[in-house]
Amino acid sequence: MQFLLRSLPTLALTITASAAITVDTVLVPMRDGIKLATDVYRDDSLPAGPVVLMRTPYDKAKAKASAEKMAGAGYVAVIQDCRGTHGSEGILIPYNNEGQDGYDSIEWVTRQAWCNGRVGMTGGSYVGAVQWQAAVEHPPGLVAIAPQATWSSFYRNL
């Protein structure tokens, strides 16, 4: 037991030191030519992994801490500004393009070498609603959504 306790600080230091998270910002093209600003957080030592995608109108930079935690846990975190917000091109018309843009973004993600073909989405409020809109488009590779603090029926709620 004494050996184990003395080894824990070294083990924790080793795990922390090996997780060097990198961030790449790219412009992802949608089917109509509009490009959406997207940050990719990942541990470069992992060849490919499952992706957690967040599409937000609230500024992708605000999700940095969450994205770094996800990347440190072995996921690739992809955070994207919705159409017409912050670093993305186009005009934001709330909920108008989110299904198609979600589909196109997931399709782009699954073609990347760092993606193992499995994509999940997470987030709340508008970020939760865009998950429902992407899911209804049936993008290949989308295996899970975790919408929070949002609605599931646009007809009843809008």
DSSP 8-state assignment for residue 42: E
Determine, yes or no, domain membership for 12. no
Q: What is the per-residue pLDDT across 38-66, written as a single tens digit (0 to 9) for each?
A: 999 999 999 999 999 999 999 999 999 99
Residues in the chain: 158
| Among the listed residues 95, 68, 76, the one whose alpha carbon sits nearest the alpha carbon of residue 84 | 95
Residue at 138: amino acid letter:
H
Determine, yes or no, domain membership for 88. yes
pLDDT at 132: 94
pLDDT at 45: 95
- Which residue do the tokens 């992809």 mark? 78
Determine, yes or no, domain membership for 40. yes
Determine, yes or no, domain membership for 7. no
- Tokens, residue 136: 């209804």
Determine, yes or no, domain membership for 137. yes
Q: What is the per-residue pLDDT across 59-79, written as a single tens digit (0 to 9) for each?
A: 999 999 999 999 999 999 999
DSSP-assigned beta bridge partners for residue 23: 41
Exposure on the CB side of residue 158, measured as CA atoms within 13 A: 11
Categorize the per-residue pLDDT at 157 as very low, low, confident or very high, splitting at 50, 70 and 90: low
What element of type H or E holds 120?
strand 115-124
CATH number (domain holding residue 58): 3.40.50.1820
Determine, yes or no, domain membership for 74. yes
Categorize the per-residue pLDDT at 135 as very low, low, confident or very high, splitting at 50, 70 and 90: very high
The total domain count for the chain is 1
Specify the pTM. 0.86
Determine, yes or no, domain membership for 10. no
Domain that holds residue 62: 21-157
Determine, yes or no, domain membership for 145. yes
pLDDT at 150: 85
